[in-house]
Amino acid sequence: MKKMLAILLLAIVVIGCGPKMAKQETLDAIAEARAALEAAQTNITELQDEIDALTAQKAELEQTIKGMEEETATIENKIDTRCNK
């Protein structure tokens, strides 16, 4: 009797909670959301590449500035040395 009741309850749960077909609106919304996600991920990748390129450019420019500052200091030192004589 208990087995029969358990089987009956299981059958009711399976029938009541079984797979249901999604509406076309829901499927369209999911497809649209996936497309938006893919576009966003592509955009993130492109922006990250741009950040990397700009970071490399920044480091290069900082190195150039450092070199120019050293050159300016050298020239100022030469000017001071020659003008004080």
Residue 63 lies inside a defined structural domain of this protein: yes
Query: How far from chain centre, in Å, is Cα 20?
Result: 35
Q: What is the pLDDT of residue 15?
A: 66
* CA–CA dist 2, 8 (Å, integer): 10
The 3-class SS string of the chain reads CHHHHHHHHHHHHHHHCCCCCCCHHHHHHHHHHHHHHHHHHHHHHHHHHHHHHHHHHHHHHHHHHHHHHHHHHHHHHHHHHHHCC
In a domain, 10, yes or no: no
Domain that residue 69 falls in: 25-83
| Confidence at 75, pLDDT banded by 50, 70, 90 | very high
Residue 1 within any structural domain of the chain? no
For residue 11, tell me if it sits in a domain.
no
pLDDT score of 52: 98
Looking at this protein, which amino acid is placed at residue 73? Answer: A
Report percent pLDDT > 70 for the chain: 85
User: Is 72 part of any domain?
Assistant: yes
- Asked if the structure places residue 6 within a domain, the reply is no
Q: Give the chain's domain count.
A: 1
What residues contact 22, with CB distance under 8 A and at least 6 apart? 30
Q: What is the pTM of this model?
A: 0.57
